[in-house]
């Protein structure tokens, strides 16, 4: 995938921001650095990308799932609604990106307070061409196909949170293999390997069947052959 544009509104410490990855200095830079003072909103940029795509972030995903009182709201620390900027009534993250399938997508995450000042559940939509999906399961499925990675794989390879830089390196071999295949588009070689393994098992089965047919055959010693040849000649 390739990031095209990110719009942030009232998320954590960021009131309003827009980043166009296809224009200005970013369009010509193969590598760039996000820098700033503590609390300036560096991690919020990364959080907003994750929110738009997966409705979670690495730091929230590791938080407690037990409900607690956050101001007037009784929610878990893992709830993404916690990222609504203090004092704001609504927040959103809008990410435009080019999917691994060559299609341009727009992923939207938003949360707001109702007339009773209660937080509503976060909502996600994903649009491409004339298509729009809003159902959570459908959004997750299409997003994973468009990005080519699920959230855990995205965190291990693309969105490495603080203190998790070795998570990918410590992953099991089969996990790293699956991720690298998706990143490099080499899944076809695993499919070829599976087909070869199937053929190997079929041939082994044929071999064992033929071998069982010959197990009852006993080869004569040379002395026994000579004795039978003698008997044949006499007869």
pLDDT at 71: 61
In a shared domain, residues 17 and 128: yes
Return d(Cα 93, Cα 107) in angstroms, integer: 8
In a shared domain, residues 143 and 224: no
List CB contacts of 173: < 8 A, sequence separation 6 or more: none
**The pairing of beta strand 67-70 with beta strand 90-98:** unpaired
In a shared domain, residues 112 and 203: no
Nearest to 40 by CA among 3, 8, 70: 8
pLDDT at 182: 63
Return d(Cα 126, Cα 138) in angstroms, integer: 9
CATH classification at residue 88: 3.40.50.300
Last residue of a domain, one of 88, 120, 148: 148
What total of structural domains would you count in the chain?
2
List CB contacts of 36: < 8 A, sequence separation 6 or more: 42
In a shared domain, residues 126 and 206: no
Domain membership flag for residue 106? yes
Domain membership flag for residue 173? no
- Whether 42 and 36 have beta carbons less than 8 Å apart is answered as yes
- Indicate the average pLDDT of the chain: 84
pLDDT digits (tens, 9 = 90+) for 41-69: 888 998 899 999 999 888 776 665 666 55
Q: How far is residue 225 CA from its own chain's centroid?
A: 70
- Whether 7 and 93 have beta carbons less than 8 Å apart is answered as yes
In a shared domain, residues 24 and 120: yes
In a shared domain, residues 24 and 101: yes
Domain membership flag for residue 198? yes
Tell me the whole-structure pTM to 2 decimals: 0.65
Return d(Cα 205, Cα 182) in angstroms, integer: 33
Measuring CA to CA, how many Å separate 139 from each of 45, 83, 178, 213?
Answer: 21, 21, 22, 57
Domain membership flag for residue 166? no
Return d(Cα 107, Cα 51) in angstroms, integer: 9
In a shared domain, residues 11 and 89: yes
Measuring CA to CA, how many Å separate 144 from each of 13, 87, 107, 181?
Answer: 28, 33, 12, 14
Mean pLDDT, to the nearest integer, of 159-188?
66
In a shared domain, residues 32 and 141: yes
Domain membership flag for residue 37? yes
Q: Which domain holds residue 220?
A: 192-234
Domain membership flag for residue 162? no
For residues 78 and 166, which has the higher predicted lDDT (pLDDT)? 78
Is 7 strand, coil or helix?
Answer: strand
């Amino acid at each position: 995938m390739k990031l095209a544009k990110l719009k942030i509104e009232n998320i954590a410490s960021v009131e309003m921001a827009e980043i166009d990855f296809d224009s200005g200095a970013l369009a010509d830079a193969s590598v760039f650095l996000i820098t700033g003072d503590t609390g300036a909103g560096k991690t919020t940029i990364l959080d907003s990308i994750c929110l738009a795509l997966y409705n979670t972030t690495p730091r929230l995903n590791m938080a407690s799932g037990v409900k607690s009182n956050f101001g007037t709201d009784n929610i878990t620390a893992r709830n993404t609604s916690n990222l609504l900027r203090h004092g704001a009534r609504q927040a959103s993250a809008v990410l435009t990106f080019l999917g691994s399938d060559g299609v341009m997508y727009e992923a939207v995450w938003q949360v707001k307070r109702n007339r009773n000042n209660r937080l509503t559940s976060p909502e996600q939509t994903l649009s491409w061409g004339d298509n729009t999906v809003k159902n959570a399961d459908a959004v997750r499925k299409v997003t994973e196909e468009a990005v080519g990675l699920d959230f855990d794989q995205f965190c291990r390879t693309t969105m490495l949170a603080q203190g998790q830089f070795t998570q990918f390196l410590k992953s099991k071999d089969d996990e790293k293999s699956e991720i690298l295949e998706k990143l490099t588009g080499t899944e076809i070689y695993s499919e070829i390997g599976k087909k070869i393994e199937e053929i190997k098992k079929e041939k082994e089965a044929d071999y064992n069947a033929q071998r069982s047919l010959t197990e009852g055959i006993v080869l004569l010693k040379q002395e026994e052959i000579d004795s039978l040849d003698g008997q044949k000649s006499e007869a």
